[in-house]
Amino acid sequence: MDNKSINSARAFIYNILALLFIEEHVKKDKKILLSSLEQLAENPFDDEVGEITKQIIALIKDNSNNDLYEEYEKLFLIPFGNGISLSASWYHEEREYGSMLLTVKSILAKTTIRKDETLFKAPEDNFGFLFTLSSYLITEQNNGNIKDDLQKELFKRVINLHFEKLYAKLLASDTKIYSLIAVILGDFLSMERKYLNIN
- What CATH number corresponds to the domain at position 69? 1.10.3480.10
Q: Which residues contact 31 (CB under 8 A, 6 or more apart)?
A: none
pTM above 0.85, yes or no: yes
Cα–Cα distance for residue pair 21/172, rounded to 1 Å: 17
Q: Which domain holds residue 147?
A: 3-195
Q: How many domains does the chain have?
A: 1
- Per-residue pLDDT of 144-171, as tens digits, reads 898 889 999 999 999 999 999 999 999 9
Q: How far is CA 182 from CA 93, 114, 188, in A?
A: 22, 28, 10
Give the pLDDT confidence score for residue 67 in this predicted structure: 86
3-state secondary structure 50-109: HHHHHHHHHHHHHCCCCHHHHHHHHHHHCCCCCCCCCEHHHHHHCCCCCHHHHHHHHHHC
- Residue 16 or 145, more confident: 16
